[in-house]
């Protein structure tokens, strides 16, 4: 897990952060230095569950909580997923194209 050491508000209302990461988390970025998103697992407050289907429950589905769903059904395209392991937690981050699918 990383920690924010210092923050400074720039004249154009952006915020400059000085971040300290462990070596494993820095390597996880694979050299990417642009389009980085920072989030905290402490902000995950919506309860959800995983549904298992198939023989011996080998197929698993992540349920999107009712509060986060859009009432209108949308077709999905250009969906990407990333698995992040940190200590005793596993995080799955899904990226759904906002321009094509006004999902959330």
| Boundaries of every domain in the chain | 1-34, 39-104
pLDDT of residue 7: 94
Please give the Cα distance from 43 to 30 (Å, whole number): 25
Pick from 3, 44, 49: nearest CA to 25: 3
pLDDT of residue 101: 45
Ordered DSSP codes for 30-66: TT--SS-----GGG--S---EEEESGGG-EEEEPPPG
pLDDT tens per residue across all 104 residues of the chain: 788 999 999 999 999 999 998 888 888 888 888 888 887 878 888 888 889 998 888 898 888 887 777 777 666 777 888 888 877 888 888 887 755 445 55
Q: What is the pLDDT of residue 30?
A: 84
Whether the CA torsion 22, 43, 80, 89 is positive or negative: it is positive
pTM for this one? 0.61
Q: How many CA atoms lie within 13 A of 17 on its CB side?
A: 9
């Amino acid at each position: 897990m990383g920690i924010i050491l210092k923050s400074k508000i720039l004249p154009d209302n952006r915020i400059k952060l000085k971040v300290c990461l462990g070596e494993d988390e820095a390597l996880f970025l694979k050299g990417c230095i642009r389009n980085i998103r920072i989030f905290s697992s402490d902000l995950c407050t919506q309860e959800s569950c995983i549904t298992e289907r198939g023989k011996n429950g080998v197929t698993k589905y992540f349920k999107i909580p009712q509060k986060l769903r859009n009432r209108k059904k949308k077709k999905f395209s250009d969906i990407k997923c990333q698995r992040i392991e940190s200590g005793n937690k596993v995080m799955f981050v899904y990226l759904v194209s906002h321009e094509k699918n006004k999902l959330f």
